[in-house]
């Protein structure tokens, strides 16, 4: 019955004959393990097609949606991380298999007559695969993909005359945006795989026409493709798949923070298999007067690919084959070396921990800081997404309402040239003071603003410790105030007068109470004021009685004779907003005479920060992390 | 058990009377027309698709953004954007200013978006203004106080505070030119900048 059905099927379709045609390929010298690389590449591509199709079912190109959908796939979709992980790892496996397959073909001399066309088809397949890698890198629309791909599309504009047009065509305009994503996605999921399938069919047809290149092993009999070679291919592909799945599980695929066109990512690197091209660009010094970058980015790679296309023709000459092998080995070694060198440069700071003053050290350190900053930003956006979900306007709209994300960015950009922020979780380094030159005033810095307005911070300000006290670097150490009245008062009046241990104890207690009273003005969300009401009341008493001599200069409560830094509402939202906006105003550094180089960030004359940015910064400094309204 | 008759198979796979028609591939008017038609059918849809895909980005104006009148700044010349008030500039250290304007991304209109950034400082009476995009390959440079230079995080390009190329001994500087200087227009206390993007990797500063 089954036999009958099969015969009917076969008579109508010719399936049996086709299958025999496909499987009973003669392999001179028999099945070998070294013939598996081609099948593995086909299998890898098939995996990419299938996993890619499923990713497509969940991916949405577009500036607002791309990152959001990839985030969903990676972190919320059941099995999504494995799906994207396998696609991600298999892509790299494919790029690793390519040179292996290519080297085999070259060494076995399988690219020469009569197989020229197959060699050319193979090269086209290689270029398409690399293009797939390049286009896929942008699709998650994270900082890394955005900035790395931006370099690639800038390079597309290098060729004279057509460069600018080419760039516009790829990017879909002059700026990165929706159309960059829609175009890259169409290329990655449609055009390039379509071309790859077409060329692969031709590649395989050509391969079947000429058969395997076997340098016959006389003692081994021929075998058919089925079953021994199929078995070997199958085992190799199964191993590859197992390794890829294992890698995807062992190291879950990552995602960077969402692309932000004006928040430059200082650690943009292409995917590792393009690092040799990235590194090569560094050696084409622009000082020669002509367009050397074009040479490094396009001409040289094009010449090398051109040479590879010419290899079958070169091989006809005497020693041509040897030349080809030599050049290919040199190219592959150079690529490996350049990749290694690129990694060395980025990791210089880890490998040479003592060479702290050299330019490579500083550059590599900045690179790692940027990587760390990007990881931190991702942690923050991940928490935001968990708490609030991603709004229609996209993930960056969420970031722009978050005091923590924006506070870190704004502080780094506007404050960190003077202030450090030595927070346990979100530290930002202060200025590394350059030597004074005619161009720069040299040694400077301002108080560390981590935990500003807290009991701990105020206690430190009122301490005479040479490192952690008011004249230490964390407070007035690098400002003109180090020699000012406040520092003098703390050192000479308060602490110098406390001669015995008991006096010092008493002073420390009073300072602690005053610190609580002042911090209570700030009402910081992370301190428990209710539990310390006694200290606060005592502190208020000291301030009103002027036990520590504060209100000679500062206003507090009923006392309005002060001329500098109002202590009413100290470090509160209103107080900080005023201080940042215009520190020269009444109640702060009145008229500016007491102000040591603190700029006005939002006043009549300057608008370095918008009111909204100041609001974010104020919340950040107070560690009030509630989102700003839209 | 084979029920298939070889005869019937033959008649199906090899149509009769083929000898005349196979004589020359393009020997008749019908053959030429058919070949041309075949070519046209393939190229036609491709041409229509390519036309739209190629022409749309090419015919768009280079900068789709309108200059925004933020911070109450009016009087901007064509192509100039408000960036800062003159009091915000330092005479030593270049400061980074974001340019805010309305932005169009394909079908979306977005109000007051950061569209780019510049570095500015006062040099005597003059304002020095540089694009933050590295002229080498388009990464963003940043001013490093410690080394008093603009450094690019990608391919080691670096620039002096005046924008010219910085030559480190023993390290290459692949940038083909110094930082791109931008034209500045001061009206009252408002500083406007003619903000444009330039092609990277070229010896001369050419606007996109």
Task: Choose one of B15, B35, B59: the last residue of a domain.
Answer: B59
Among A71-85, A269-283, A558-572, name the most confident range. Answer: A71-85
Q: What are phi and psi of A496, to 5 degrees?
A: -65, -30
B79 and B135 in a single domain? The answer is: yes
Taking the CB of residue A523, how many other CB atoms lie within 10 A of it? 15
Mean pLDDT (whole number) for B94-121: 88
Residues of B in contact with A285 (CB under 8 A): 172-174
Question: CA torsion, points A490, A491, A493, A495, in degrees to nearest 10?
Answer: 90
B49 and B87 in a single domain? The answer is: no
A173–B200: do the CB atoms touch at under 8 Å? no
Residues of A in contact with B142 (CB under 8 A): 264, 266
Q: What are phi and psi of B117, to 5 degrees?
A: -150, 155
Mean pLDDT (whole number) for A130-137: 97
Q: Which of B4, B146, B197 is the closest to A174 by Cβ?
A: B197
Cβ-Cβ pairs closer than 8 A, A with B, add up to 179
Taking 50 as the threshold, does the pLDDT of residue A78 lie above it? yes
**DSSP-assigned letter for residue B88:** G
**DSSP-assigned letter for residue B142:** E
Q: At what angle do helices A320-346 and A80-107 cross, to 10 degrees?
A: 140
B33 and B109 in a single domain? The answer is: no
Asked if the structure places residue B1 within a domain, the reply is no
Å between A434 CA and nearest CA of chain B? 5
- Which pLDDT does position B106 carry in this prediction? 87
- Which pLDDT does position B31 carry in this prediction? 86
Mean pLDDT (whole number) for B8-37: 66
Taking 70 as the threshold, does the pLDDT of residue A354 lie above it? yes
- Note the pLDDT tens digit of each residue in A432-475: 755 445 444 445 678 999 999 999 999 999 999 888 899 888 89
Lowest mean pLDDT segment, chosen from A319-323, A506-510, A556-560, B25-29: B25-29
Domain range summary for chain A, segments of one domain joined by +: 26-268, 269-346, 362-405, 455-621
ipTM score here?
0.85
- Note the pLDDT tens digit of each residue in A6-61: 999 999 999 999 988 888 888 888 888 989 999 999 999 999 999 999 999 999 99
Asked if the structure places residue B155 within a domain, the reply is yes
Mean pLDDT (whole number) for A341-364: 90
- Note the pLDDT tens digit of each residue in A384-408: 999 999 999 999 999 999 999 999 9
Q: What does pLDDT average to over chain A?
A: 91
Choose the mutation target among B120, B133, B153 for the interface with A, i.e. most A CBs under 10 Å. B153
Q: Which helix (H) or strand (E) holds A210?
A: helix A192-210
Q: Which helix (H) or strand (E) holds B108?
A: strand B108-123
B174–A286: do the CB atoms touch at under 8 Å? yes
Class of domain A26-268: mainly alpha
Asked if the structure places residue B49 within a domain, the reply is yes
Tokens for A144, please give them.
Answer: 């890394």
B31 and B127 in a single domain? The answer is: no
- Which pLDDT does position B72 carry in this prediction? 43
Asked if the structure places residue B84 within a domain, the reply is yes
Q: A558: pLDDT confidence band, cut at 50, 70 and 90?
A: confident
Lowest mean pLDDT segment, chosen from A65-79, A118-132, A551-565: A551-565
Asked if the structure places residue B199 within a domain, the reply is no
Q: Which of A7, A150, A431 is the closest to B145 by Cβ?
A: A431
B13 and B116 in a single domain? The answer is: no
A154–B138: do the CB atoms touch at under 8 Å? yes
Structural domain range at position B37:
6-59
- Which pLDDT does position A106 carry in this prediction? 94
**DSSP-assigned letter for residue A583:** T
B145–A168: do the CB atoms touch at under 8 Å? no
Instruction: With CA atoms as reference, report the closest residue to A622 among A526, A532, A529, A528.
Output: A526
A178–B172: do the CB atoms touch at under 8 Å? no
A281–B85: do the CB atoms touch at under 8 Å? no
B35 and B111 in a single domain? The answer is: no
B76 and B148 in a single domain? The answer is: yes
Tokens for A189, please give them.
Answer: 């999921």
Q: Please say whether the beta carbons of B126 and B115 come within 8 A.
A: no
Å between A55 CA and nearest CA of chain B? 25
B93 and B184 in a single domain? The answer is: yes
Mean pLDDT (whole number) for A338-353: 94
User: Does residue A293 or residue A347 have the better pLDDT?
Assistant: A347
Residues of A in contact with B54 (CB under 8 A): 169
**DSSP-assigned letter for residue B181:** B
Asked if the structure places residue B200 within a domain, the reply is no
Asked if the structure places residue B207 within a domain, the reply is no
Residues of B in contact with A187 (CB under 8 A): none
B173–A287: do the CB atoms touch at under 8 Å? yes
Residues of A in contact with B10 (CB under 8 A): none
Instruction: With CA atoms as reference, report the closest residue to B130 among B154, B161, B102.
Output: B161
B76 and B170 in a single domain? The answer is: yes
Lowest mean pLDDT segment, chosen from A585-594, A612-621, B193-202: A585-594
B74 and B146 in a single domain? The answer is: yes
Q: A338: pLDDT confidence band, cut at 50, 70 and 90?
A: very high
Mean pLDDT (whole number) for A194-216: 90
Cα nearest neighbour of A284 on chain B: B174
Q: A254: pLDDT confidence band, cut at 50, 70 and 90?
A: very high
- Which pLDDT does position A443 carry in this prediction? 57
Q: How far apart are the first and last CA of chain A?
A: 72
A172–B56: do the CB atoms touch at under 8 Å? yes
Asked if the structure places residue B41 within a domain, the reply is yes
A286–B145: do the CB atoms touch at under 8 Å? no
A282–B174: do the CB atoms touch at under 8 Å? yes
- Note the pLDDT tens digit of each residue in B118-141: 999 998 889 999 999 999 999 999
Taking 70 as the threshold, does the pLDDT of residue A193 lie above it? yes
Taking 60 as the threshold, does the pLDDT of residue A137 lie above it? yes
Taking 70 as the threshold, does the pLDDT of residue B61 lie above it? no
What is the CATH number for B75? 2.102.10.10
A293–B201: do the CB atoms touch at under 8 Å? yes
- Note the pLDDT tens digit of each residue in B66-92: 544 444 456 678 888 988 888 888 888
Number of domains in chain B: 2
Choose the mutation target among B100, B122, B155, B169 for the interface with A, i.e. most A CBs under 10 Å. B155
B53–A158: do the CB atoms touch at under 8 Å? no
A165–B58: do the CB atoms touch at under 8 Å? yes
A268–B139: do the CB atoms touch at under 8 Å? yes
Å between A629 CA and nearest CA of chain B? 17
Choose the mutation target among B42, B57, B58 for the interface with A, i.e. most A CBs under 10 Å. B57
Q: Please say whether the beta carbons of A521 and A566 come within 8 A.
A: no
B105 and B163 in a single domain? The answer is: yes
B101 and B25 in a single domain? The answer is: no
- Which pLDDT does position A433 carry in this prediction? 59
């Amino acid at each position: 019955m089954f036999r009958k059905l099969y015969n009917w099927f076969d008579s109508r379709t010719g399936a049996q004959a086709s299958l025999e045609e496909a499987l009973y390929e003669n392999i001179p010298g028999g099945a070998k393990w070294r013939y598996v690389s081609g099948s593995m590449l086909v299998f890898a591509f098939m995996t990419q097609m299938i996993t890619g199709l499923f990713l497509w079912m969940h991916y949405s190109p577009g500036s607002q949606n791309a990152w959001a959908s990839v985030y969903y796939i990676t972190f919320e979709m059941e099995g999504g991380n494995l799906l994207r992980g396998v696609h991600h790892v298999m892509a790299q496996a494919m790029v690793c298999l390519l040179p292996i397959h290519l080297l085999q073909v070259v060494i076995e001399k399988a690219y020469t007559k009569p197989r020229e066309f197959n060699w050319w088809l193979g090269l086209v397949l290689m270029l398409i695969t690399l293009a797939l890698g390049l286009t896929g890198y942008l699709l998650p629309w994270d900082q890394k993909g955005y900035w790395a791909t931006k370099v690639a599309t800038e390079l597309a504009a290098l060729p004279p005359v057509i460069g600018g047009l080419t760039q516009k065509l790829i990017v879909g305009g002059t700026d990165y945006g929706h159309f960059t994503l829609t175009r890259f996605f169409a290329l990655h999921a449609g055009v390039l795989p379509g071309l790859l399938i077409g060329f692969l069919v031709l590649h395989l047809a050509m391969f079947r026409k000429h058969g395997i290149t076997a340098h016959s092993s006389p003692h081994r009999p021929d075998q058919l493709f089925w079953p021994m070679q199929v078995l070997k291919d199958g085992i190799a592909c199964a191993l590859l798949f197992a390794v890829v799945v294992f890698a995807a599980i062992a190291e879950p695929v990552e995602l960077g923070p969402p692309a932000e066109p004006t928040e430059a990512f200082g650690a943009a690197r292409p995917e590792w298999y393009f690092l040799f091209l990235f590194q090569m660009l560094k050696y084409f010094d622009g000082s020669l007067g002509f367009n050397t970058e074009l040479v490094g980015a396009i001409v040289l790679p094009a010449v090398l690919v051109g040479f590879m296309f010419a290899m079958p023709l070169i091989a006809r000459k005497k020693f041509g084959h040897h030349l080809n092998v030599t050049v290919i080995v040199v190219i592959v070694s150079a690529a490996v070396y350049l990749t290694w060198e690129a990694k060395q440069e980025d990791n210089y700071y880890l490998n040479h921990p003592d060479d702290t003053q050299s330019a490579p050290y500083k550059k590599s350190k900045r690179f790692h800081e940027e990587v760390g900053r990007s990881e931190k930003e991702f942690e923050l956006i991940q928490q935001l997404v968990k708490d609030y979900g991603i709004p229609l306007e996209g993930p960056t709209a969420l970031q722009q309402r978050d005091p923590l994300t924006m506070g870190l960015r704004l502080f780094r950009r506007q404050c960190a040239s003077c202030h450090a922020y030595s927070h346990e979780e979100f530290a930002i380094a202060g200025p590394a003071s350059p030597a004074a030159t005619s161009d720069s005033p040299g040694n400077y810095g301002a108080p560390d603003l981590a935990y500003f307005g807290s009991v701990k911070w105020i206690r430190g300000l009122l301490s005479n410790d040479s490192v952690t006290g008011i004249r230490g670097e964390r407070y007035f150490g690098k400002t003109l105030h180090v020699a000012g009245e406040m520092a003098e008062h703390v050192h000479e009046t308060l602490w110098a007068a406390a001669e015995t241990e008991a006096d010092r104890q008493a002073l420390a207690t009073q300072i602690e109470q005053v610190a609580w009273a002042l911090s209570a003005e700030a009402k910081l969300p992370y301190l428990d004021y209710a539990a310390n009401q006694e200290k606060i009341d005592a502190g208020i008493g000291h301030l009103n009685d002027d036990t520590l001599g504060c209100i000679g200069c500062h206003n507090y409560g009923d006392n309005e004779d002060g001329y500098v830094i109002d202590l009413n509402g100290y470090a509160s939202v209103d107080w900080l907003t005023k201080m940042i906006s215009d520190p020269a105003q009444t109640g702060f550094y009145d008229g500016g005479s007491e102000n040591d180089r603190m700029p006005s960030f939002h006043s009549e004359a300057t608008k370095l920060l918008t009111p909204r940015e100041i609001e974010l910064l104020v919340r950040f400094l107070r560690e009030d992390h509630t989102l700003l309204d839209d | 058990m084979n029920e298939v008759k070889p005869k019937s198979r033959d008649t199906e796979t090899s149509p009769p009377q083929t000898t005349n028609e196979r004589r020359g591939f393009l020997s008749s008017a019908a053959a030429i027309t058919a070949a041309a038609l075949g070519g046209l059918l393939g190229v036609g849809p491709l041409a229509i698709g390519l036309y739209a895909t190629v022409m749309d980005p090419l015919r768009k104006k280079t900068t789709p953004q309108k200059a925004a009148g933020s911070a109450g700044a009016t009087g901007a010349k064509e192509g100039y954007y408000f960036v800062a008030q003159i009091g915000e500039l330092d005479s030593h250290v270049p400061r980074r200013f974001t340019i805010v304007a309305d932005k169009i991304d394909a079908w979306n209109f977005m109000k007051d978006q950061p569209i780019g950034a510049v570095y500015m400082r006062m040099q005597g009476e003059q304002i020095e203004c540089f694009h933050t995009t590295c002229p080498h390959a388009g990464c963003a440079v940043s001013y490093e106080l410690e080394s008093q230079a603009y450094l690019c995080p990608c391919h080691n390009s670096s620039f002096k505070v005046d924008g010219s190329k910085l030559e480190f001994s023993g390290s290459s500087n692949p940038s083909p030119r110094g930082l791109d200087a931008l034209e500045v227009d001061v009206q009252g206390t408002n500083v406007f900048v003619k903000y444009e993007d330039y092609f990277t990797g070229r010896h001369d500063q050419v606007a996109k």
